[in-house]
Amino acid sequence: MEVIVEKNYEEMSKIAAELIAELIKNKPNAVIGLATGSTPLGTYNELIRMHKEEGLDFSKVITFNLDEYVGLHPCHSRSYHYFMKENLFKHINIKPENTHVPDGIAPDILKFCEQYENDIKNAGSIDIQLLGIGSNGHIAFNEPGSSLGSTTRVKTLDSKTIEDNARFFDNRDEVPKYAITMGIGTIMGAKKLILLASGKNKASAIATTVEGPITAMVPATIVQLHPKAIIIIDKLAATKLTREFPAVLGTLQGKGRARDN
């Protein structure tokens, strides 16, 4: 696991975008796992800039999103379909048929979840999976207590997650109670993981994820077992880490890299 601590959100986002862009340049038909929420927005903005100003080509890229609310139509302004279209897809040259977001209104959601797993496998597995982290340590919508070997399925959202996500809705009661999510086992099947976190409100979750024991009660701790996991955080999110992560010479435009193990 590699830990990169950047001075602020902007620098953190650039590092993540550079890693994704490097993959796309080396493998134009890369399969990329995407996340929603406020944390990856800076990364998406940088990828959009790279596309428009540097010609980063997404025409062969395939994407799979982590999750979607059950019951929200893709056109709903709070759906993750809508989020991805507005914040990334419509600004780059990716083909709509190459983008995959769980269908929260599928007639048979259990069957859909099985098919989503098959679609990922048929694409050759995910090359890089972008992750955020909840204040309770969840990744995607794998809430505390989720099976560490789980696959794509429907999950009931934790009350803390509903509280945290209420800021995206008019009020707390509008937040859906269920979501389709990639499972922890599915996420761990990606060839590389990039976990992003920013701000003091994520500091406790990051400290537990990096330094705590692996436990289903903090699902993000599972990334300790991934052979190519990179955690990229800003200084505020790093405030509760007890170990020091001295900067070492990196390969990304001279950026300092902090290596754990």
The residue ranges of every structural domain in the chain are: 2-240
Pairing of strands 178-181, 67-69: antiparallel
Neighbouring CB atoms inside 10 A of 218's CB total 22
Per-residue pLDDT at 254: 42
pLDDT at 145 over 80: yes
Report angle CA 199, 202, 203 to the nearest 5 degrees.
90
- Say if CB 102 and CB 65 are below 8 A apart: yes
Catalytic residues: 67, 136, 138, 143
Band of pLDDT at residue 173, cut at 50, 70 and 90: confident
- Say if CB 33 and CB 226 are below 8 A apart: no
151-170 pLDDT tens trace: 999 999 988 888 888 888 88
What span, in angstroms and rounded, lies between the C-alpha atoms of 59 and 95?
Answer: 6
Domain 2-240 has CATH 3.20.20.70: no
Per-residue pLDDT at 28: 98
Per-residue pLDDT at 256: 44
